[in-house]
Amino acid sequence: MKKTYVFSQACLFAFALLIATFCSGQTNSPAEGKTDQTSDQTKADKIDELVRTYAEYGKFNGAVLVAERGNILYKKGFGLANMEWDIPNQTDTKFRLASVSKQFTAMLILQLVAENKLALDVPITTYLPSYPAEKGDKIHLHHLLTHSSGIPNYTSFPGYRELMRNPIRPAEIVKLFADSALQFSPGERFNYSNSGYALLGVIIEEITEKPYEQVLQEKILNPLNMKNTGYDSHRNILKNRATGYDKNGNTIVNTSYIDMSVAYTAGGMYSTVEDLYLWDQALYTTTLLPQKYMDMLFDKHIPAWRQHYGYGWIIGEMPIGNSQDKVQTIEHDGVVNGFSSLILRMPSDHSSILFLNNTGGAPFYEMSKAICGILYDKAYDFPKKSIAHVLLEKIKTEGITAGLSFYNDVKDQSNYTLDENEMNLAGYDLLQAGHAEEAAAVFLLNIEAYPQSSNAYDSYGEALMVLGKKTEAIKNYRKSIKLNPKNENGIQMLHQLGVEIDKADLYMLKTERSWAKEIFTFPLNFAPELSYEGIEEAHFPKGWRKTESPEFWSYAFVWNINQSKGLTAATLENDLQLYFDGLTNVVNKEKDRVLPKTVARFQQKGKGNDIPTFTGTIRIFDTFVTQKSMTLTVLVEKHYCEQKKESFLLCKFSPQEFGGEIWLELDKIKLRDNMCEE
């Protein structure tokens, strides 16, 4: 399946991949394989060499500005703002900000709070009485600002790609989700949602009785003299406006059209790196807000993506180059059709890194990590050549045999990098050019490199369909939706192939339909010591986070992993201790607090059975609800699939002892019969 990224939807797994990028690789330069960090190079020289190499490798096309201790150290444009007219990007080129816009919306809300026109802890129906009361009475501004309202994200709704083509009024955006059920109780957890920030925009307009664009101009842009920043509209003539493009493999195409009224206050602004520098520096002052409210913007309000979310900002830390050192950061990225952006601030010394790009995504975090290395005099990585890009060019110019030979020669070399999404796009470049056989070969390489990727199987299935290989296409689409039951594209394609799928049968476990289900990919980012590959599927009853419920802290999960046939109680104890220690530390809201370690104790039940079963207890610290240690009773079944050499580890948990009421329900949870089928 060809992925199109609209807004920044960073989730737990995407962030895990970014973190993995931080920690990987060797120090390489484009020529010698080692970074030139001699004393006669200034920091600006090093940054220029680094970013220029990213641009030469086709990984960056935009503008960058780096500030050190409050002063501009480096700024420059790379590539073209308009490829039809060969107009270069410069530091005053205007780019769409996408979700970086959220921090401006958050600032406007806090300004109105400081003026006693809004309150953070009252129901939003106070300001929007027409919003459905059964939901709005539970949701506060704080929940909207921190993505903890439970309102589903309207940019993820079916049909959004058609919706984004046409102008829409703010009230019509609200209608898209106002009647939708909440995904969880407000304040319960973080779940990134553009809907919440759209509601904030409507509230700003309701309270001020002015359009958002005017309020933004009067309360932020004019005071900071940000003359090259504004609320975007395709109707306006903007000097130095960048055109948005996407990369299909090595081919640059005009991006899909989006009317920016659809992005609204969640992602509808444009700016330049020079203007964003003015914004960045103003945030160290009280020009826009008293200090009390400035601090609120950057408080660690809720755990998110292994870091924390403030009000319109991600609060965390970043590795400094290749060292073990880290620097505290305040940042946010954004992605919208054809554009990506990042503002990364290091408040300890008022340094910052600003990126704007107009060819879709760019490896901003990888680039920022290296620039941090330069700023703080640590070793850092140079970019590596993309295997996918060179492979695609080889296939186009020399044929598939030469391409495959190149791939096998360089796939393990340290000066090349293999990226799943780049390989996927290379395959689609070939498929759309009518080279289905070659595309299928590239997709198959991607499956071999990323065997747990649902998207890799989906894409290969599409190429097989084009080649008329229906049976093989069905097999790969089935594999795709087994890895990701939420893959609607795979389900639709199977329907076209005459195969109907019951969504209830897509999951590995049988539970009541009312139970919530989540899919995660190994290696789990919060427990990297678990070196398995595979997937986790967790099932939760409605009352699992309510202390008064008989279902409290009772749930089940299954791991489909590359674990060998044997399993001992000691291995199981170690694995679950690593798992829960990582999980509770990620959810822990008080990062300075040292949590007690998880303690697991198991014994094997009925040795010699075909399905080894273990019973025992696990003592964990409940960071989700009670903030106390608690003991869970545990039952674990080990199923081994000889055909696929895979293991299914089914784990059931409850604070109730065996024989309790909830165990009547947990005992019904079984592995589906077809899990060992290819």
Beta-carbon contacts of 24 under 8 Å, excluding residues fewer than 6 positions away, are none
Does residue 171 register a pLDDT over 70? Answer: yes
Low-confidence winner among 42-56, 298-312, 510-524 (lowest mean pLDDT): 510-524
| 487 Cβ contact list (under 8 Å, min separation 6) | 1, 454, 455, 458, 480, 481
- Same fold flag, 73-84+93-375 and 385-505: no
Question: First and final CA of the chain: distance in angstroms?
Answer: 20
pLDDT at 6 over 90: no
Please list the alpha-helical segments (H only) found in 376-469: 387-398, 400-410, 420-432, 436-449, 454-466
pLDDT band (50, 70, 90) for residue 117: very high
The answer to whether residues 639 and 664 touch, using CB atoms and an 8 Å cutoff, is no
Superfamily classification of domain 73-84+93-375: DD-peptidase/beta-lactamase superfamily (3.40.710.10)
Give me the sign of the Cα torsion angle 225, 228, 229, 234. positive
SS3 of residue 560 by DSSP: strand
Query: Out of 37-46, 364-373, 555-564, 622-631, which region has the weakest mean confidence (pLDDT)?
Result: 37-46
For 598, the 3-state DSSP assignment is coil
pLDDT > 80? residue 373: yes
Average pLDDT (155-169) is: 91
Residue 649 has pLDDT above 60, yes or no: yes
C-beta of residue 271 within 8 angstroms of C-beta of residue 238: no
pLDDT at 429: 93
Query: Residue 27's pLDDT is what?
Result: 34
Q: For 479-501, what is each residue's pLDDT tens digit? A: 999 888 888 899 999 999 999 98
Pairing of strands 339-346, 71-77: unpaired
Tokens of 57: 């490798």
Nearest to 373 by CA among 391, 351, 343: 351
* Three-state secondary structure call for residue 647: strand
> What average pLDDT does the segment 8-19 reach?
34
Residue 17: predicted pLDDT: 31
534-537: long-range contacts (C-beta < 8 A, 24 or more apart)? Answer: 534/452, 534/559, 534/560, 534/561, 534/562, 534/646, 535/452, 535/483, 535/559, 535/560, 535/561, 536/560, 537/507, 537/508, 537/509
Domain boundaries, the chain: 73-84+93-375, 385-505, 509-671
**Which numeric CATH code is attached to 385-505?**
1.25.40.10
pLDDT of the residue at 678: 59
Residue 609's pLDDT band (cuts 50, 70, 90): low
Using CA atoms, how far apart are residues 576 and 190, in angstroms rounded to an integer? 24
- Looking at residue 11, its pLDDT comes to 36
3-state secondary structure of 414: coil
Q: Give the Cα separation of 428 and 491 in Å (integer).
A: 20
pLDDT of residue 236: 86
Q: What is the predicted pLDDT for the residue at 40?
A: 67
pLDDT for 35 equals 46
The answer to whether the peptide bond before residue 523 is cis (omega within 30 degrees of 0) is yes
pLDDT digits (tens, 9 = 90+) for 55-97: 999 999 999 999 999 999 999 999 999 999 999 999 999 999 9
What percent of the chain stands above pLDDT 70? 93
pLDDT band at 445 (very low <50, low <70, confident <90, very high): very high
Q: Say whether pLDDT at 4 is over 80.
A: no
* Calpha distance 316→333 (Å, rounded): 13
Whether residue 355 contacts residue 367, with contact meaning beta carbons closer than 8 Å, is answered with: yes
Backbone angles phi, psi at 549, to 5 degrees: -85, 145
Measured CA distances, 17 to 444, 528, 556, 609, 634 (Å): 21, 12, 26, 39, 31
Reference 197, options 316, 291, 119, 104; nearest CA is: 104
Per-residue confidence (pLDDT) for residue 591, from 0 to 100? 64
Query: Residue 559 and residue 651: Cα distance in Å, rounded?
Result: 8
Q: How confident is the model at residue 608 (pLDDT cuts 50, 70, 90)?
A: low
Q: What is the pLDDT of residue 428?
A: 94
pLDDT at 350: 97
Task: Determine the pLDDT at residue 28.
Answer: 35
Residue 393 predicted with pLDDT over 90? yes
Q: Is the pLDDT of residue 5 over 50?
A: no
Q: Which helix (H) or strand (E) holds 577?
A: helix 569-587
Alpha helices in 244-285 (DSSP H): 264-267, 273-282
- The rounded mean pLDDT for the chain is 90
Find the mean pLDDT for residues 102-121: 98
Q: Residue 102: which H helix or E strand, with range?
A: helix 102-114
| Amino acid at site 525 | N
- pLDDT confidence of residue 520: 81
- The string of pLDDT tens digits covering residues 277-309 is 999 999 999 999 999 999 999 999 998 887 899
Q: Give the model's confidence band at 39: pLDDT under 50 very low, under 70 low, under 90 confident, else very high.
A: low
Question: Please, which pLDDT band fits residue 576 given cuts at 50, 70 and 90?
Answer: very high
